[in-house]
Structures are given as C-alpha cells and as structure tokens.
Amino acid sequence: MVAVAFFSEVDDPEDWRRALGAVLPEAEFRVAPALGDPAEIEAAMVWKPPAGFFAPMRKLKLVVNLGAGVDSLVGRDDLPPVPIARLNDPGMVQLMTSYVVFAVTRYARDIHHFERAQRRGAWEYRHPRALDRIRVGVLGLGELGGPAAQALAGMGYSVTGWSRSPKSIPGVRWEGSLDAVLAESEILVALVPLTPDTRGLIGAREFGLLPRGAKLVNACRGPVVDEAALLVALSDGTLEAATLDVFNQEPLPEGHPLWRMENVLITPHLASITVPDSAARDVAESIRRVLRGEPPLHQVDPGRGY
C-alpha cells in the first residue's frame, strides 16, 4: 500500500478516491485533515494547501498539483525538494478551450452589447464582422494556451500567440515580442502561468499599447494583471470590456469595484478544472514511477514555475 494525502477546497475527494482507486488499487487515499500518521504519506495530491501542510510528511516523495498553476507550491518552507508533477488532463484542456472560445466569441459577435440592449428593451442591430478580420492575441502557448489558440484559429480568427520560446501551432502566428502582440490585439487572452516574470505582466503601459477599446480575457491568474491599472483602463475606455475568471483575492470581496462595472463579466475561477476520470491514470503512473526511483510524468521546474 502507498499512503496518498489529498487536499483541495474545490475538488470532490470522493470523485478522486473512486478514479484513483480504479487505476491504483494499492493507494490508501487519505483526505485532509484525516490523514492518520502524516509520516506515512508518500504522495500528496493538492490544490493550494495551507502553510505547514507538508512539514510532518517525512516520507514524502511526490506532490501532484491538482490545477494548472503551481504558484502555491513554489517558495514554500514546508515542502522538501521532492518532484512536483502537474496534470496533463484532456478534460482540463477542453474546459479551458471552451471558456476561451466562449469569451472571445461573445466579444467578436457583439453579444455583450446585445445583453445591455436587451436590459434596455432596445433592438440594437450591429452588423457582424468576418472572423478573420478579428485579431486575437493569446499570451501563453503552453498546455492550456496552445490548444485554445489553435481552436480559435480553426474557427477563423486571426490569432497571434506570445510565449518566451518559439511555438509552432497550426493557424497561429508566433510572436516573441509582447509589445508587438499587444499593439495588434483587439481581444487579448491571458493564459500564462504565474511566475516572478509574469506577475504584473499587464499593467498601465501594456494597456496603453492595445488598440483603444480592446477587450481582455484573463483566465490564468489574477496577479498577472495589475488590478489598479485594470480598473483605470476599464473606466477610461482604454479597455471596452473584460471577462475575468481570476482575481488578486478570491473570492472577489463584496463591494469590490469590479462587481459594479457593467462592462465586466465575472466568473468564480472555474474556466478550467481537473476531471478526475481523465487525469487519474497519469497520477497513478507518476506515483508508481517515483516509488521506483524514476521521475514522474509532467514534472514541473520550480525555478521556472511551470
């Protein structure tokens, strides 16, 4: 038997218990806080565990992150230098792609204007534009951003992607200059991991480089965007609108200015979630590999943050 600890405030532990048990029957699945003797834990499946969570796990050999971003696992003083594995989950990719396609298409087809017109009881016609005339910039072309950019390109949008290393994605033009991508993007999609390099990546200067009246979709991490600059840009017309799934503080506090903005669509950090049935096999394989002294699947470089 191998003792596996589980902690997440948003994932259903029973779904994971069932899915992991089907592919790793030797797992003894322990859900925090009922972990028994933590010194027996050899693998931990977590999403944003509290401070000190790993400290008593003296036999820990692997941490599996249950979401896309590993920022909550980097720089901790309670986590020994064990491998961290991210999930390579087709279900997560599909959900993120569907969210990005929805958000971009809502703006491309002027649905946000029709929503406001309906509230006024107004028949407000806007002539549709051909999708290949609509320029979409995708920041981050990794496990989630790459498929989302490719899906948009497959629909006919003019898509430019930015990442620190060159990427070859069908239908997507890669651009290594962030400023160049910003200057041409009337809809900007942020899908970069949160790292020291991407914290505050989009601020007042970057908003100023966008075509006036651009739209923003942030489905990665709140601190990638300077929140104060975002509020100004949404108020002065620099940005026409934004779809926001992530925030500096979550849940978004009651009374926050973003709640009152008619040009903002807020969703509660659910653009993409892990689907246990499609991810459990990789988790099981990573645990088996680490117990054999091998690297896990999809290992994260903590120094890079992804």
Residues annotated catalytic, as ranges: 221, 269
Alpha helix (H) residue ranges in 110-268: 111-120, 145-155, 178-184, 204-209, 227-236
DSSP annotation of 260 reads G
What are the Cα distances from residue 3, in Å, to 22, 44, 51, 173?
Answer: 16, 9, 21, 46
What is the distance, to the nearest Å, from the Cα of residue 108 to the centroid of all Cα atoms in its chain? Answer: 22
Residue that is written with structure tokens 């200059």 in the block: 177
CB 147 within 8 A of CB 93: yes
Residue that is written with structure tokens 């972990």 in the block: 35
Q: Could you tell me the two tokens for 241?
A: 């609108």
Rg (CA), the chain: 21
Looking at the DSSP bridge assignments, the partners of residue 216 are: 188, 242
Residue that is written with structure tokens 């807020």 in the block: 266
Say which amino acid occupies 69. G
CB 158 within 8 A of CB 164: no
Write out 10-67 in H/E/C secondary structure: CCCHHHHHHHHHHHCCCEEEEECCCCCCHHHEEEEEECCCCCCCCCCCCCCCEEEECC
d(CA 162, CA 196): 17
Q: Could you tell me the two tokens for 114?
A: 């029709």
For residue 153, give the 3-state DSSP assignment. Answer: helix
